[in-house]
Amino acid sequence: MFDVTVIGGGMIGASAARHLAEVGLGIAVVASPEPVDPAHHAGPFGAHYDVTRLSPTVQAGAVEGELAQRALASTASIEEFADRPVFTGPGHLFVARPEDDEGMGEAVRSLPDGHGVEVLDGPALAGRYPAMRFQPGMVGYQESGPGACLDPRALVAAQLAAAKAAGAHVVACRAVGMSTDATCTVTLDDGTRIESRRVLLATGAFTNGSGLLERPLGMRMKTEMVLLAELAAGEAERLADLPPTHYAINDARVADVYMAPPTTYPDGSVLLKWGANTIHDRWVEEPADIADWYRNGDSDAAIPTVRPSMEGTFPGLEVLGWQTQRCVVAYTGHGMPYIDALVPGKVYLAIGGNGRSAKWADPLGALAASLVEAGEWVDPLPADRFRKLYAGEVAEWAGRELLTDR
């Protein structure tokens, strides 16, 4: 019998498994493998099937800032178990009008002396980054590097490798049932049963449809797409020194842009990434609809909508071809993950990344691990920020609305 079964081997689940194993507990990790052929995949999908995510350190909000600092402190230990770089990039750039900066300006002003964040007005932005053209009235906040871009696939692989090195047993299957009688029994899709004293659910966007809960959580899931511009070697070299960037663009068709500089993908292509909330986004609640978006969603239909914002930001951009990737973002009622007890002493939650699980994966996993190990909240961060909410208990959703509703 294991001490803990972690259901879900994504960014938070893999991190939690690593921290649980490293304190000496017997851990089983149920980690459904990444689909080889997404169009015909029958199991759940994960949110880490990519090689670039942004990982800035400066955050608006005390809890958010502490999580970012903990994530920064964890980078060396993660890289130790990685077979390729996890954290790259020359710092991070946040660009917005002062009225649209979501507290970033105040967060920077409240930093102690010597914080190293440069504040760049319009002319300074143009002088620093001549390859980019930002809209009038923008202010940039430039963090020093390195490591503001991370590879989520490499992150998950490194955390699972660390968990295995500490004795965890990883099972490449899908959990289809769970009982919590004298012990916790998790049934896998191949009929295998895993017994443990406790269970941690880290099942992401598919949680409410997993068949593992008696009562649905307060969650909503949004379709997400990113536009990828394939670049020739010369164009990639011209843009190679750009920092990972968040850009609060003012555009009726796209918003909340996140850009990753030219990156070599597994197939050898060099892609410039332009993610955004778009007028094509929608809420998807049913597991079948979530899976259908991953399998067959027509994200390419958004190319004509999103492409002008990228081309306007990179004048003269030379592109060999355009492609898109699809994902689903799981939002919670209060905007932070649900890290809480579902059945005290037996079943615990680490659910809902709110679009931020990549950059905070290690500290979120550590929070969940400490809760499971102790059976109660023991971290100095406020437990109330991570409390679970059931469906029907969310009076007002935190975070952003669909662009069509703004």
Shared domain check, 210 and 342: yes
Q: Domain total for the chain?
A: 2
User: Are residues 231 and 379 located together in one domain of the fold?
Assistant: no
- Tell me which residue of 48, 43, 41 sits closest to 30, measured CA to CA: 43
Residue 115: pLDDT above 90? no
Residue 253 and residue 136 in one domain: yes
Residue 63 within any structural domain of the chain: no
Q: Is residue 360 part of a domain?
A: yes
Task: Show the tokens assigned to 299.
Answer: 């994200």
Does residue 381 share a domain with residue 260?
Answer: no
Average pLDDT, whole number, for the chain? 94
pLDDT at 147: 78
In a domain, 392, yes or no: no
Say how far residue 224 (Cα) sits from the centre of its chain.
12
Q: Do 144 and 156 fall within a single domain?
A: no
* Per-residue pLDDT at 384: 97
Q: Is the pLDDT of residue 199 over 90?
A: yes
Range(s) of the domain holding residue 105: 89-149+220-332
Rounded Cα distance, 154 and 151, in Å? 5
Residues belonging to the chain? 406
Residues 273-307 pLDDT 10s:
999 999 999 999 888 899 999 999 999 999 999 99
User: Do 250 and 212 reside in the same domain of the chain?
Assistant: no
Q: Do 298 and 326 fall into the same domain?
A: yes
Is there a single domain that holds both residue 282 and residue 338? Answer: no
Q: 17-29: per-residue pLDDT in tens?
A: 999 999 999 999 9
Task: Find out whether the peptide bond into 130 is cis, omega within 30 degrees of 0.
Answer: no
**For residue 13, is it within any domain?**
yes
pLDDT at 43: 77
Q: Which of 332, 360, 378 is at the close of a domain?
A: 332
CA distance 68 to 54: 12
Shared domain check, 168 and 117: no
Question: Same structural domain for residues 231 and 299?
Answer: yes
Residue 167 in contact with residue 27, Cβ under 8 Å?
yes
Q: What CATH code is carried by the domain that includes residue 342?
A: 3.50.50.60
54, 189, 288 from 302: Cα distances, Å:
22, 35, 22
- Reported confidence tier of residue 34, pLDDT bands at 50, 70, 90: confident
Q: Give mean pLDDT, residues 32-54.
A: 85
- Please state the φ and ψ torsions of residue 349, each to the nearest 5 degrees: -120, 145
Higher pLDDT, 34 or 215: 215
Residue 41 reports pLDDT greater than 90 = no
CATH classification of the domain holding 131: 3.30.9.10
Say yes or no: 252 and 317 in one domain: yes
Q: Determine the pLDDT at residue 144.
A: 86
Kindly give the interhelix angle for 62-79 and 152-165, rounded to the nearest 10 degrees: 70
- Does residue 123 have a pLDDT over 90? yes
User: How confident is the model at residue 372, as a pLDDT?
Assistant: 98
Of all residues in the chain, what percent carry a pLDDT higher than 90?
A: 84
Residue 133's contacts (CB-CB under 8 Å, 6 or more residues apart) are: 126, 312, 313, 314, 315
Same-domain pairing of 262 and 114: yes
Is 72 contained in some domain?
Answer: no
Q: Per-residue pLDDT averaged across 243-255, rounded? A: 95
6-20, 136-150, 157-171, 381-395, range with the lowest pLDDT: 136-150
d(CA 250, CA 186): 48
Q: What's the pLDDT tens digit per position in 153-182?
A: 999 999 999 999 999 999 999 999 999 988
Q: What is the signed CA dihedral for 164, 167, 171, 172, rounded to 10 degrees?
A: 0
Question: What pLDDT is recorded for position 172?
Answer: 92
Please give the pLDDT value at position 106.
Answer: 92
pLDDT in tens, 84-101: 999 998 889 999 999 999
Please give the average per-residue pLDDT across 227-232, as a whole number.
98
- pTM, rounded to two decimals: 0.95
Inform me whether the pLDDT recorded for 146 exceeds 80: no
Return all residues near 365 (Cβ < 8 A) that are at least 6 apart. 11, 12, 13, 14, 15, 16, 17, 18, 19, 159, 350
What local confidence, expressed as pLDDT, does residue 145 receive? 76
Distances from the Cα of 339 to the Cαs of 6, 44, 48, 55, 238, in angstroms? Answer: 13, 21, 19, 21, 43
Instruction: Give the pLDDT band of residue 40 (cuts 50, 70, 90).
Output: confident
In the predicted model, what is the mean pLDDT of residues 9-36? Answer: 95
> 264 pLDDT band (50/70/90 cuts)?
very high
Determine, yes or no, domain membership for 274.
yes
Confidence band, pLDDT 50/70/90 cuts, at residue 316: very high
Whether the predicted pLDDT of 250 surpasses 90:
yes
Residue of 121 and 48 predicted with greater confidence:
121
Q: Check whether 367 has a pLDDT greater than 90.
A: yes
Tell me whether residue 393 is in a domain: no
268 part of a folded domain: yes
